[in-house]
Structure 1
């Protein structure tokens, strides 16, 4: 089967399975209908022009989807789920500090609403590879801890105003408490939780900051269940857990179309440099790349001059198409980059980032599927790229798990778990 078709089916099935689970938190009857559809009632399915499943629903719902503003990985996976929710006829209110273009690249609909709100700071970084634990805790205290009472009151009022049926969080903790206070169900979607990330920072800052982690964990414990994505770290705050396959954005263009649009010959080796903004010390030079290679740079500033064998990509570029058309990725380990590299079988050369407890688990998943190798920070900055690129070309990424993400067996198993949760 053509790789792009396989990738498209992978995304559609995985996200469809994901949506089946989300519906369950609001109405078990809807889950029953959805599972029935997946288990044989094909006549109830429709498809859009791009081949993505549009699922019939017996009830229109209002989703309040909270998305952390930290990095693009959260927003990109949410965008794909939101696209399917909109396609199924529901209203989705996205609450985030992330750029709107991440979502509007995927969805154009009057049923999609945006609310620009900062409810947590994520991790404070001085550049793409440097996390500042103390600055993170200080900002979190100022933006989330001190105004907590005001945040709870405002979000309670807003959820009532939009008549939300379900709160989905990726992975803002405070809103789980808000949903419980309002009396509506909530679901978290994550491969990590902020209490586990901040635990490392508290160890660096000292025990006086311990209450931050305890409050985050307590807030998470109010959600009905966690939809746990692959590459997950331990998340003991959640009582009920459902595992799902990778959720990644679908492809729109073939490798040939991408190369033609960028004016790149078929015989040129492509590497995409994707750090969400390059490390501040990184000064790109022509000799960094072997002969016959071209580097596509994500996040380059408008004023940054690049050598002839480096090419800037627009800030709103649709990276899944670029990754699928590339021979290799150089970047940091985050869910968005890792999941898309695995899904589209693009070798990943990664650089370690301190103070981010998500990383060891993404690394384990990446290496398990023969999809990545580590480059030292010194090698990145000094331009010693050639041996890593050559080694990456020998990798054979083999992630196939999620192609069956929407299978009847998995959906049925999910329904069984949800039924148990609802009766407990």
Structure 2
């Protein structure tokens, strides 16, 4: 049986289940050790799609995670297996000659995996080898990679990033490559952008790599600067409710909103008199004012100087003829398409401010809770004042979430199901311990994040049950937290 060579550092049931199932899988050569890595999904509490515009984001690593085990293979082929892929209609086993991957740049690898829809899922795993080869010159050789994931796909909780980060960590473990968590996350983002073909920001991979259990990762996406963890106050809980509506970052809505935001930034740069230069097919803007990020435009600047000068929408051909292109390297402006511009531009400007306020309120709430531990008689009045102040902060936190949700919808990234879940949370309200809710990740369905008072699980369950009765969709409750890939480390398994 397969057993860990060293003691487990974390008590994680999914890891124990994975190891227990290895014997039946009969996938690895029992004569050689296996390297296991794990990375969690994430719940996007605040920030979401504003990540690609440089916003601060607040992300919670979930209990649900992806696990990848890797082993060198003397055969010159990369073999990837996934039980979940088979259940979703893909091939259980994908085998690619190592020489074929070694001959690929990012575009070639993307074409290779896209050629057969039933093997496309393997890009999330084997893409790690492509990224290491292209960016670090790593020689590709045979490898076996076994994937198991409990992160629900298509729900906006970063199942893809969890897989990418777990795969990259396992492959690096096999090859003896040391990457920092930030380096690993940025490389995984390149895999998703350039091999998988999904134009995501970096927050998902950073959370999967650098997250800590029961702690929010505060990440300034310029491009990926952790600004310190935020411990969730003991007086609150964060939940996710699955709307049952599938979400896809690679979908047209997400991509068009992203293009619209970069069109908006290009127009603002022109209005501000910044110098733009096209080098090859990449646009460069000399921007010491906002450093290339819409999030650095303040709401007051936007309202006073730019809002009414940015068009509501613009046809791609007209934009290209006037401005030449955008600074985004992972999307293209389609000439025949009409893009919404003003709202996708405004969203990250305001979202960055909302997230900054949210983080400050959370930290002040933690201070209030800590102070509230004194219960002697002479402090009762102070305790009442603190309790009132804590309640006010909870109400403000909830309102910021509702504002974020409304802004998603204004961008065209809402969905009937997620809107209804938010309405149900609002209707239940603070008297049932529910303070705020919002759509998460790339929007257009998926999971709704809920801010609740500690001990309000029953109220969250009632919301989910009512939604399920109304829509017929299974409203899975998502909760709990676990360490990111770097905190988990790698685990060496041997057969005895």
Same fold, TM exceeding 0.5?
no
Considering only CA atoms, is the larger Rg found in Structure 1 or Structure 2? 2
Structure whose residues are more often strand by fraction:
2
